[in-house]
Structure 1
Amino acid sequence: MASGFRLIFATSLLLALLDLCRGSTIGICYGRNADDLPTPDKAAQLVQLHNIKYVRIYDSNIQVLKAFGNTGVELMIGVPNSDLLAFSQYQSNADTWLKNSILPYYPATKITHITVGAEVTESPSNFSAQVVPAMRNVLTALKKVGLSKKIKVSTTHSLGVLSRSFPPSAGAFNSSHASFLKPLLEFLAENQSPFMVDIYPYYAYRDSPSNVTLDYALFESSSDVIDPNTGLLYTNMLDAQIDAIYYALMALNFKTIKIMVTETGWPSKGSPKETAATPDNAQTYNTNLIRHVINDTGTPAKPGERLDIYIFSLFNENRKPGLDSERNWGLFYPDQTSVYNLDFTGKGSADVITQANVTSSNVTTWCIASSKASELDLQNALDWACGPGNVDCTAIQPSQPCFEPDNTVAHASFAFNNYYQQNGATDVACSFGGTGIKVDKNPSYDNCIYMTAGSNKTVASNTTAISSTSSFATMNRVPTWVFSCLLGTFMLVLSKS
């Protein structure tokens, strides 16, 4: 019995520590304040097409939760400010919401975080007193169904929650929010939940261009900004703003709370006075952001610290009020074409499709894998096509017509083309995160026939099969630091068992 208990404990410990070994992540915010957006199903398909693994939504819309079911995408969902009063007053309201809006779709939909309220200190209505009671009731509801360890509860803030952010080491919370922040931070520390904050260097530059250089805001600065108290060097504004929050937390003796950036980004278009809101600047900011995050460099005050950051936003939203920039934060237009090129792998500028060159020709085309794409990127795209993409990949299995040549490029080409033809032969259907390319020469060979748009001719049955090239091969490309972390985890588990 004792050895069995130790095994269960060791297994639980291993699973918990494996999560700690995960590196920094990039997600995207899926706002829907628009009347021209694609359906949630199409949005989920677009997210998968670009290998985006983390998505934030601002409510618990049933159609969205259904759309992300069985996709593997991790979802952050929200309780709107308008629901805070009801959630804070009665436990039964939180219980009913969880029962009706979450549990029917979990775990097929991988919900990992619930944000209870959003930027309440910025709201003209006084919601702040309702936030922590509502968070406690949501957590209690999760505990009742055994999900309190799997789904983290928090709330989001604007950077305005600070009274001082420069230099970073002088970061301090606004004292007028003390009665709200003290119980909130105690809740986060007790439950190992992150401090969620929305950070926009764009606004700092737009509102104070004499004090903030554009290059510094865009991660392009050639000179460092020095914190005179610590001597730490800052090459970009985002790091400085994140560290200001770290120091504000440490000043209140909350040293264990992690920070999650739940919104950041750059608009591609603005009003006449918003001269920095351009596609080039938006592409530069988000490209540099992604590279910065996935390199796991952390910040000057927290080198190597894991950072989870969400880019705002998936689509332009035409119903948002305010200046023109408010409606132009999207990476994609509502027709799902790209506003500008962005590579979510951080390796370079992806060859994705912009609104100006959507397919409109009647010439027959096929979609194949780019020979310049990495093996890892092709394998990931192939796994998606043969899995969530619902492509029939039987023909590339052993002994089937398209198995030879037995390599990832050939197998991916067949799968990419099937997906491309089945989804209207549009440019976006041949993107695959920049690994797919269109050709006008039929790639069919021997008995391996590549389908065309509108054709019912296939070379396989309707049974979807995974690709013959095992995705386990991608383990060869796991960074060394991950292996080190896993090794340390394994040794710790052994010592406990």
Structure 2
Amino acid sequence: MSRGFWFILTSASLFLLLLDCCHGSFVGICYGRNADDLPSPDKVAQLVQDHKIKYVRIYDSNIQVLKAFTNTGVELMIGIPNLDLLPFSQFQTNADTWLRNNILPYYPATKITYITVGAEVTESPENVSALVVPAMTNVLTALKKAGLHKKIKVSSTHSLGVLSRSFPPSAGAFDSRHARFLKPLLEFLAENQSPFMIDLYPYYAFRDSPNKVPLDYALFESSSEVIDPNTGLLYTNMFDAQIDAIYFALMALNFRTIKVMVTETGWPSKGSPKETAATPDNAQTYNTNLIRHIINETGTPAKPDEELDVYVFSLFNENRKPGLESERNWGLFYPDQTSVYSLDFTGRSPVDMNADANATRSNGTTTTWCIASSKATQMDLQNAINWACGTSGNVDCTAIQPSQPCFQPDNLVSHASYAFNSYYQQNGASDVACSFGGTGVIVDKDPTYDDCIYTRTGNNQTMTSNNNTTAAITSSRSSSSKQVYSSISSALLLTFLLFLFDLERA
């Protein structure tokens, strides 16, 4: 072959690599099975496909589950439980046998992309943390023998308790009690380009310290900002602050290349009498705002535009989990596969997962709008406008700019009303979408005046839901966007190859 041909082949390979690396952030879901009333794995796999869920975490390597997800295209994160850490850490043959019997018969028809070795071991009453890295090393060696170490990443999950400090985020630091465990773990992750996996629950921070943590801050609903005094970075939600605390803790130990992945987060829909924040409304609000935040790819204040993959906990309510009532009520679905609450899977519009095929969602017979409260302070209104018109709210606020139809009257109440309503209508005209920290008010009288038109759901934003179009937990690009991206990528590649071919001929 000519040197020019090798140049073309190498350049094309690099081009494909660049295209493949830019996958964007995704949101997946955790499939826990600590219950005695769940549907069969086959039915679960069908449920996941019906809702276009592309990423699922399971907590073991159950063969029936792996079989159920064969040829579905769903990417699985599978787990090695803490109870199995001892045999996996002691002998390489145990890891080899496990991979040969539990993974290889189903791979790649069942897509497996991550293996978690141990889960929240620092919270475990048994002292098993010392077993994690040896077990991870043996699993990685087994994958290398099978030629899969570049396709399946190995890591371990942690609770936020692995930190000794998380506020302010810039002071984030790992607990020195876990130093002997964490140093080799982080070295393993950095060497093998595996993510640091963390389970984050702002719900617990609010539940345990309601006087210190505002509910709206935990729910992504705050219109005010918390300032990190060391960096000047502004935080509008606890989730971002916790993520950045992890990043600062990693940087403090000079591990700057390790990415963070959230392997569990969510909000319970029911709790004990003292768990007053565990409600369907709050669960819907948290998960809807979380998904919108992730797929908008805004990153965190310390890591803007950084990709962040997240798994929502959990697919089902699990009736055998011990503890308070909330522990058994984190699911998006009841065991009969009906939804616990409607969830905005795409970050754009609420979709009722129980809606009949081809059912049209509207606001019912009464059309409503969202406007700003005249009793709100100027500061709250300005903060709310900044949020709605910024990357978080993603509202087109052109109409309230100078010389535009909604600029007059030039005051914050009027401008906020237009921005609030645009956000409200874009997000299904739900009560949650007109919160704005208590500055939004739902009205049934059209605020439209002169040439300033206030949109409404009924006339130009009607949404449909059926088995083919139901929005779902997926990557930051929709299926259609992926198809467009794929077509563009193919066209770019073809153009690139033709260019190189002409260059070689010349």
TM-score category of the 2 structures, normalised to the smaller one: 0.7 to 0.9
In the alignment, residue 142 of structure 2 is paired with which amino acid? A
- Which string of whole-angstrom CA distances, capped at 9 and with x for unpartnered residues, describes residues 319-340 of structure 1? 0000000000000000000000
Counterpart position of 1:220: 221
Counterpart position of 1:55: 56
CA distance in 2, matches of 1:433, 1:212: 38
In the alignment, residue 203 of structure 2 is paired with which amino acid? Y
Counterpart position of 2:67: 66
CA separation of 1:136 and 1:7: change in aligned 2, threshold 3 A: farther
Matches within 5 A, 1:16-415: 16-353=17-354, 367-368=357-358
Is the 2:140–2:149 Cα contact (8 Å) retained in structure 1? yes
CA separation of 1:222 and 1:473: change in aligned 2, threshold 3 A: closer
**CA offset at residue 222 of structure 1?**
1.0
CA distance in 2, matches of 1:11, 1:178: 44
Where structure 1 has 5 or more consecutive residues not aligned to the other structure, the ranges are 355-365, 373-428, 437-470
**CA offset at residue 316 of structure 1?**
0.2
CA distance in 2, matches of 1:129, 1:5: 48
Give the secondary-structure state (helix, strand or coil) at the position aligned to 1:299. Answer: coil
Is the 2:341–2:352 Cα contact (8 Å) retained in structure 1? no
- Which string of whole-angstrom CA distances, capped at 9 and with x for unpartnered residues, describes residues 33-69 of structure 1? 0000000011111111111110000000011111111
Is the 1:139–1:148 Cα contact (8 Å) retained in structure 2? yes
Is the 1:26–1:293 Cα contact (8 Å) retained in structure 2? yes
**CA offset at residue 16 of structure 1?**
3.8
Is the 2:52–2:471 Cα contact (8 Å) retained in structure 1? no
Give the secondary-structure state (helix, strand or coil) at the position aligned to 2:231. Answer: coil
CA distance in 2, matches of 1:178, 1:337: 45
CA separation of 1:343 and 1:83: change in aligned 2, threshold 3 A: same
Give the secondary-structure state (helix, strand or coil) at the position aligned to 1:132. Answer: helix
Counterpart position of 1:459: none
**CA offset at residue 431 of structure 1?**
5.0
Where structure 2 has 5 or more consecutive residues not aligned to the other structure, the ranges are 363-464, 473-477
Counterpart position of 1:407: none
CA separation of 1:432 and 1:268: change in aligned 2, threshold 3 A: farther
RMSD, aligned α-carbons: 2.7
**CA offset at residue 352 of structure 1?**
2.3
Give the secondary-structure state (helix, strand or coil) at the position aligned to 2:142. Answer: helix
Is the 1:351–1:431 Cα contact (8 Å) retained in structure 2? no
In the alignment, residue 165 of structure 1 is paired with which amino acid? S
**CA offset at residue 346 of structure 1?**
1.4
In the alignment, residue 106 of structure 1 is paired with which amino acid? Y
CA distance in 2, matches of 1:144, 1:475: 33
Counterpart position of 1:461: none
Give the secondary-structure state (helix, strand or coil) at the position aligned to 1:48. Answer: helix
Is the 1:266–1:329 Cα contact (8 Å) retained in structure 2? yes
**CA offset at residue 343 of structure 1?**
2.6
Is the 1:51–1:344 Cα contact (8 Å) retained in structure 2? no
CA distance in 2, matches of 1:151, 1:29: 18
Give the secondary-structure state (helix, strand or coil) at the position aligned to 1:58. Answer: coil
Give the secondary-structure state (helix, strand or coil) at the position aligned to 2:198. Answer: strand
- Which string of whole-angstrom CA distances, capped at 9 and with x for unpartnered residues, describes residues 120-173 of structure 1? 000010111100010011001001111000000000000000000000000000
Give the secondary-structure state (helix, strand or coil) at the position aligned to 1:135. Answer: helix
TM-score where L is the length of structure 1 = 0.73
Give the secondary-structure state (helix, strand or coil) at the position aligned to 2:341. Answer: coil
Counterpart position of 1:389: none
Give the secondary-structure state (helix, strand or coil) at the position aligned to 1:211. Answer: coil
Matched residue count: 387
Matches within 5 A, 1:486-497: none
Identity across the alignment (%):
76
CA separation of 1:367 and 1:433: change in aligned 2, threshold 3 A: closer
Is the 1:80–1:118 Cα contact (8 Å) retained in structure 2? yes
Is the 1:279–1:340 Cα contact (8 Å) retained in structure 2? yes
- Which string of whole-angstrom CA distances, capped at 9 and with x for unpartnered residues, describes residues 290-329 of structure 1? 0000000000000000000000000000000000000000
In the alignment, residue 107 of structure 2 is paired with which amino acid? Y
**CA offset at residue 205 of structure 1?**
0.2
CA distance in 1, matches of 2:4, 2:191: 30
CA distance in 2, matches of 1:346, 1:145: 39
Counterpart position of 1:376: none
Counterpart position of 2:456: none
TM-score where L is the length of structure 2 = 0.72
Is the 2:244–2:300 Cα contact (8 Å) retained in structure 1? yes
CA separation of 1:280 and 1:62: change in aligned 2, threshold 3 A: same
Give the secondary-structure state (helix, strand or coil) at the position aligned to 1:37. Answer: coil
- Which string of whole-angstrom CA distances, capped at 9 and with x for unpartnered residues, describes residues 196-233 of structure 1? 00000000000001110000000000100000001000
**CA offset at residue 474 of structure 1?**
4.5
Is the 1:49–1:433 Cα contact (8 Å) retained in structure 2? no
Give the secondary-structure state (helix, strand or coil) at the position aligned to 2:89. Answer: helix
CA separation of 1:105 and 1:332: change in aligned 2, threshold 3 A: same
Is the 2:346–2:471 Cα contact (8 Å) retained in structure 1? no
**CA offset at residue 345 of structure 1?**
1.4
Is the 2:315–2:332 Cα contact (8 Å) retained in structure 1? yes
CA separation of 1:173 and 1:314: change in aligned 2, threshold 3 A: same
Is the 2:54–2:74 Cα contact (8 Å) retained in structure 1? yes
